[in-house]
Structure 1
Amino acid sequence: MPTRRDFLAASATLAAGLGCMSVSGNAFAQPASAMLSRKIPASGEALAVIGAGTSGSFEVDTDTAQFQQLKQVLKVFFAGGGQVIDTSPNYGGADAVLGQLLEEGGWRKQTFLATKIAADSHAEAQTQWAGTLRSLRTDKVELLQVHNLRDWQRQLPYARELKAQGLTRYVGVTHYMDSGLDELERILRQESLDFIQVHYSVNAPGCAQTVLPLAQDKGVAVLINRAFDDGRLFAKVKDQPLPGWATEAGIGSWAQLFLKFAISHPAVTTVIPATGRPDRQLDQLKAGSGPLLTAAQSKQLVAQFA
């Protein structure tokens, strides 16, 4: 449960955000440039390159200041052109929090809603899916993914059944560690997928060796998780200046640089960083506009964080 200190800290952050309300009523000044987008190869539908995740940041109680702060996060997200929000039924209740926020804010139609199957049998998956729809307060989702390749031989066909029923538009699989890359590559070669989700960051660029080029060749869209290495990258760059070329690329923070690195790979469709703070949400959105990194700049970053 949140402590009184957590409540006061969240209240202070929320108040600061509200204090920055513009005349138009939007929290914070929105990014000046339009968000870049990439097309889903399976359909041609365009998605904004900066999305959002819910792991950790949306695992809050609904009667807290943190929940109210998440409303401000989503206001900033949608006002800045965000679309993709990724969640899961095993993110500590984050899907129910997201569902309530989308319903209260009237944002469901603006959302490209991605969730997952995390089950070990067909019966368990059916029960979980019914609960997912209740939690998200929706009758369908845009993307249904098999979580971390869990029981994928049974769960991917089930996801396809739901797609055939019109309950999801796209299906895919996910992983988040280097140990899953070989199996993810095999699945990409063997199966017809709309999406994959994989980790990719300046200190974990392994998927760029085979998985990302293969997804591009196969016409599979890519979501990127863990672009901040679960926050550990920020500890590594504490008090360090940005590279000298960052300004030329329109980069004003390390968060923007880490996200820009991810979306600069041509196979990547959208990166999905999570945050529970409106100011950080705005900062992340800024990575979605302006020039991408050159191959030399990306290589330099990989070398720096190796």
Structure 2
Amino acid sequence: MLSFLSSNFCKIAKANTSNTKKKAEIVKRTIHSSKENIPAIGMGTWLTFDVGHNTKNILARSQVLKTFFDYGGELIDSSPMYGTSERVLGKCLAKISRDFNLFSATKVWTPNTWHGVQQMKNSKKLWNIDNFNLIQVHNLVNYENHLENLFQLKEDKKINYVGVTTSHGWRHTKTIEIMKKYDLDFVQFTYNIVDREAESYLLKLAYEKKISVIANRPFQGGNLFNLIKNKELPMWAKDYDIFNWASFFLKYIISNKAVTCAIPATTQTNHMHQNMQAMYGRLPDYKTRENMSQYIKNI
């Protein structure tokens, strides 16, 4: 068992860090359009997997990825926009045992419709997979034409789900318009304990329309850890099986009933351990979530 984990968490996750992990203990969320269940913590690859051809770094990312799967993680999100991330991810997937469930999510990101088709084919080769579970229109670029192609791919059973993405609080009005107009399976946007704009309407609309939500930038690009540097967790955090700040931030997100999956990114296995701990144990209720938010505001 990992020595740095608290004894309390070890009681919760003991079976989940071994080859005989009990995945029933994992916090899962249901994809509205299919009723498929997926773990509430996924993994992003922006910057973290963009390591080019550096063999040492690729090996290190393979260990990060293995840790993710060891905890029962499934959804991995990437994009052609992320430099060499897709290529590196494919190499890492090839390096580790295939004893895992992968929910593959990438994006199409180009103003040219024809290029988008080629881009998706190339992404599949880079990941070295037969088909993607989810393809999203990245930052809404040329969304009308790309969505048309994606819905056709879904109809042809070449992908399972269709979505759109935005981030940093940008283009919420346009995102809402698209959510109302199209029969989307997923929508992805920024949501964390500080950036709560999505609570005002986006999350409510997604819940009403039964669109599954992927929350990006859960740590605000790492800024949240700078905010709480050298600060102690509140005493009551342990009542919700929260023993580190990563779990504190992530449990705030996934305890919102409209959120399907949060996608933190990291380059370090010890950080991955902390991220994945958020999938176990008790989730905060509404009152506690407000207390969590206020605690951060008061720091």
TM-score (norm 2): 0.89
CA distance in structure 2 between the partners assigned to 1:174 and 1:290 by the alignment:
29
Tell me if 1:294 matches 2:285. Answer: yes
CA distance in structure 1 between the partners assigned to 2:74 and 2:121 by the alignment:
24
Give the CA deviation at 1:275.
0.9
Secondary structure of 1:66's counterpart equals helix
**Conserved in 2, the CA contact under 8 Å of 1:42 and 1:220?**
yes
Task: From 60, 68, 74, give the equivalent of 1:83.
Answer: 74
Tell me if 1:188 matches 2:190. Answer: no
Residue 148 of structure 1 aligns with which residue?
A: 139
Residue 11 of structure 2 aligns with which residue?
A: none
**Conserved in 2, the CA contact under 8 Å of 1:216 and 1:267?**
yes
Task: From 193, 210, 225, give the equivalent of 2:216.
Answer: 225
Cα gap change, 1:165/1:104 in structure 2, threshold over 3 Å: closer, same or farther?
A: farther
Give the CA deviation at 1:139.
2.4
Secondary structure of 1:231's counterpart equals helix
Cα gap change, 1:108/1:95 in structure 2, threshold over 3 Å: closer, same or farther?
A: farther
Cα gap change, 1:161/1:303 in structure 2, threshold over 3 Å: closer, same or farther?
A: same
> Which segment drifts farther, 208-217 or 226-235?
208-217
The CA deviation string for residues 35-86 of structure 1, in whole angstroms up to 9 with x for no partner, is 1101101011000011101111111134432211112112211111100000
Cα gap change, 1:34/1:41 in structure 2, threshold over 3 Å: closer, same or farther?
A: same
CA distance in structure 1 between the partners assigned to 2:272 and 2:156 by the alignment:
35
Tell me if 1:160 matches 2:151. Answer: yes
Secondary structure of 2:188's counterpart equals strand
Secondary structure of 2:25's counterpart equals coil
Tell me if 1:206 matches 2:197. Answer: yes
Please list, as runs of the form range in 1=range in 2, the aligned pairs for 1:250-289 lying within 5 A after superposition. 250-289=241-280
Secondary structure of 2:171's counterpart equals helix
CA distance in structure 2 between the partners assigned to 1:82 and 1:235 by the alignment:
26
Please list, as runs of the form range in 1=range in 2, the aligned pairs for 1:95-134 lying within 5 A after superposition. 95-107=86-98, 110-134=101-125
The one-letter amino acid of 2:77's match is: D
TM-score (norm 1): 0.87
Secondary structure of 1:182's counterpart equals helix
Residue 36 of structure 2 aligns with which residue?
A: 45
Point out where structure 2 has 5 or more consecutive residues left out of the alignment: 5-14
Cα gap change, 1:108/1:121 in structure 2, threshold over 3 Å: closer, same or farther?
A: farther
Tell me if 1:171 matches 2:169. Answer: no
CA distance in structure 2 between the partners assigned to 1:179 and 1:276 by the alignment:
26
Secondary structure of 1:110's counterpart equals coil
Would you say how many aligned residue pairs link Structure 1 and Structure 2?
A: 283
CA distance in structure 2 between the partners assigned to 1:154 and 1:285 by the alignment:
36
CA distance in structure 1 between the partners assigned to 2:260 and 2:48 by the alignment:
22
Give the CA deviation at 1:177.
2.2
Secondary structure of 2:147's counterpart equals helix
The CA deviation string for residues 81-118 of structure 1, in whole angstroms up to 9 with x for no partner, is 10000000110110011111112324386200000000
**Conserved in 2, the CA contact under 8 Å of 1:83 and 1:112?**
yes
Point out where structure 1 has 5 or more consecutive residues left out of the alignment: 1-15, 17-23
**Conserved in 2, the CA contact under 8 Å of 1:255 and 1:283?**
yes
Task: From 79, 94, 98, give the equivalent of 2:85.
Answer: 94
Residue 10 of structure 2 aligns with which residue?
A: none
Moved over 6 A (4+): 30-33
CA distance in structure 2 between the partners assigned to 1:247 and 1:255 by the alignment:
13
RMSD across aligned positions (CA): 2.3
Task: From 222, 244, 247, give the equivalent of 2:235.
Answer: 244
Secondary structure of 2:187's counterpart equals strand
Cα gap change, 1:53/1:108 in structure 2, threshold over 3 Å: closer, same or farther?
A: farther
CA distance in structure 2 between the partners assigned to 1:36 and 1:281 by the alignment:
16
